[in-house]
Each structure stands twice: as C-alpha cells, then as structure tokens.
A and B are shown apart, each in its own frame.
Chain A
Amino acid sequence: MIELTDVSVSYNDKVVLSEVSLRLTERRIGVIGSNGSGKSTFARLLNGLLLPDRGTVTVDGLDTKTKAKEVRQKVGFVFQNPDYQIVFPLVEEDIAFGMKNLGFDKATIAAKTEEALKRYDLWDHRTHAAQFLSGGQKQLLAISGVLVMEPSYIVFDEPTTLLDLRNKLTVTGAIRELEQTAIVVTHDLDLIADFDRVIVFADNRVMADDVPEVAIGKYRKAMGDV
C-alpha cells in the first residue's frame, strides 16, 4: 500500500498540494484533473522523485525520504514521452539499465530481458536502435524497462498522450493486463473508465475520490461539460 499523510508541496511560494492524505490500495487507480492541478506532482511523490515539504509518503511502510533505493525498486514510473526515458541506443541495452542499477547478475538480466521483450513483441527488435521504433513500441519498451525491475506498483504519467489511436490502444491494453498495481495519471477518460477508483485533483487538493462513474461525472461538471 502507498500512503500519503498530510502531504504538502509548494514550488517557491506557490502551493501545489495542500495537506493531501490518501491510502492507495486498489489495483487500478486513475488520476485526473485540469492542467496544472498537481497530478504530476502527486505522481512524482509516489516513488520519491519528489519529496514532500510537509507530511510523509510511505510505500509498504517505507518512507520515500529515507528509503529511496527500496522505494525506486518497488514503484516503477512510466513517463509521457517515451523518447526521453529510453537512455541507451539499443533496445536490449536499454532494458538492462534498471536491472544493472539494481545489481542483477548477467544470467538474470538476459532471462528477464527475453521474457519482457517477447511479451510485447519486441524480441525481434532487440538489437535494433530504439530511435527507429514506433511511438507505441517505444512506450512498450519503457514499460518493459520498468517491469524487469519487478516493481509492485507502476505509476504512469500521461502514458498515451503523445500516441496515435492505434498505439494508444496497444499501450492501454498493456496497462490493463499488468499484474501490478497501476496508478495512471491521464486526460484520457476512456482509459480509466473501468478502473477501481478515480481521484480528481483541483485547487491543490483532492476534489473527488470515488468509483470512475461518480468521480468522472464530478470532474466533467467542474469543467463545465454537462
């Protein structure tokens, strides 16, 4: 379980999140809200990329402030732009990066690379340059690079925003099929329509937190879309 207790974050003097408390226990959690409402800030808190100014964030009881290494392994993160999270030239080199950081041995790295790449039909591309993959394939590679680190939770920050419809459907399908807990920040309301829970951010706080139907309804209303 990821738990936020009285979490506040401000940039310079601007408050972005104010006293947010949440317990994330469901397997599929959607996070929505208008531009600048603090969704990415919230997401970055969950794996310790960002530390709260006040309050605590814990992952399975581990404080993100003091247990950064363990938290990084438990909580994977997939970003909006796949191009910026692929850091090695070749597909198979990139996928190994996180595992090397965690100190996995060579045999394990090879086995897990094969498993992950086969899962997403990227196996034939393993020795290809990542730059020549399609947007959807790049995002699947980014997801693979996270999955091989064996996280319990995966946070997605707008994973489909830059993708065309076909690629978006592929990536959406991949997210649906994950065994891990997924926390998905998105502007795509279809993506989260069948999730277990949807959290809506507005005015530095949680404006709604409910099943998708109710939460999305409140969000639409607040946005003037009735």
Chain B
Amino acid sequence: MFDLYRPGTSFLHRAPAGGKVLALFVLGTLAFIVDDIRLIFAGLALTLLLYPVCGLTLKNAWAQIRPTLWILIAIFIAQAIFNTWQLGVFVIARFGLLLLLAGLLTLTTRASDMIDGIERGLPFLRPLGVNPAKVSLALSLALRFIPVLAQITREVREAQRVRGLENSVIALAIPLFVRTLRMSDDIADAIEARGYRP
C-alpha cells in the first residue's frame, strides 16, 4: 500500500488522481459485491495485464501481494477448514484483486497528486470540522515518515541487541515512543519554518 510512485507516461499515469481514487473505490466495492468467481478471475487477469501496459513489471505486482501473503494464506487455510477450499480461493482472489488495484493506483500516482485528489474530495466533510488541508498534510507525513520510523525501530533494536536484550516489546516500545515524540517536535518546527499556516 505504501509502495512508491514509479514515474511513467502511460494512460493511468496521466489520468487525474481523483478519478483513480474514485475508480479504486468503485471497483473495490464491486469486487465485494460480485459473487461469480469467474468475474473475479477475469478482473485479476485484466488488472495484471494493466501492470505491463503501464510500464510496470510483474515483480511490482508481486510486491503488492507479498507483505500480506501470510495473512492471505491464513485466511485460505481458515476457509478451507471451516468452509470449503473453493471458498478459500474465492476470498483470497478477492483480496488479491483489491491489493493489485490499490497498487496500480499508488504506483502510477504521485503521493502529492493523490493527496490533492483526496483534498478536493473532502470539502463535504468541512461542516463536520474536518480541514481537508490538514488531512492531506497528515497523509503526506504518514507516507514520508513510515520508512523513517521503521529505520528508527531497527536502530533501537540493534542498540538493544548489542547490550544483550532480545526482542522485548516493552523494551522496544519505550525508547521508540520517546524518540518519536522528539522527532515529531522537530518535524513540527520544520513545517512551521517552511511557512505552513494551519
């Protein structure tokens, strides 16, 4: 989901971000309404075909599935045991389709464009006290800092291993929490210094 934009000139790259987000929403919903497995497989085949059409590789497609592979396998096993294996295939095909569609969106759309698209789609939430500009900044920050947090987690774990502390969740959580707080102070300063006015 957090895979990054791959520059390109395909029709999907050029399509407006808001339209793509909407299409993902509609197709994703359809994938859950349709209960004919042949349609799901047709959707999967078409989506997979779009990868090379958009200048992406099947490796890119695989990268969309891989992070959740174990969850998919677990779902399949659970379905196979408690229902039928056919239903298992059906459920993971649905999830796979959804992941591949979402991947197409993130791979062909700059985060900033996607966020602009979402920002334009959000004003109807304004009466509820939602500020679209703030939501979109929060989304960009999330995309930007997830890898940074992952890096910090690795550093803290390494520092602890060096001192003989193996995987303890609490021992990891506390320094991580402290460092994240300090980091968020610094980020807030940086955003302010670059003229952001909430």
Contact = CB atoms under 8 A, between A and B. Distances in A.
A98 B189 contact: no
Given A101-B197, A149-B195, A84 B144 contact: no
Nearest to A130: B144
Contact of B189 (A49, A69, A130, A131): A49
Which among B7, B189, B190 has the highest number of chain A CB atoms within 10 Å?
B190
B195 A93 contact: no
Interface string B164-198: 00000000000000000001001101111111110
Interface residues of A, number: 31
A34 to B, nearest CB: 21
Contact of A84 (B4, B112, B187): B187
B140 interface: yes
A138 to B, nearest CB: 11
A76 interface: yes
B130 to A, nearest CB: 20
Given A88-B143, A127-B5, 5 more contacts: A49-B193, A79-B190, A79-B193, A84-B183, A87-B144
Interface of B: 4-5, 7, 110-112, 140-141, 143-144, 147-148, 183, 186-187, 189-197
Interface of A: 44, 47, 49, 69, 72-73, 76-77, 79, 81, 83-90, 93, 96-98, 101-102, 127, 129-131, 145-146, 149
The 8 closest A-B pairs by CB, nearest first: A85-B190, A101-B195, A98-B194, A77-B193, A84-B186, A93-B112, A127-B7, A72-B195
6 contacts: A72-B192, A72-B195, A88-B111, A89-B5, A90-B111, A145-B194
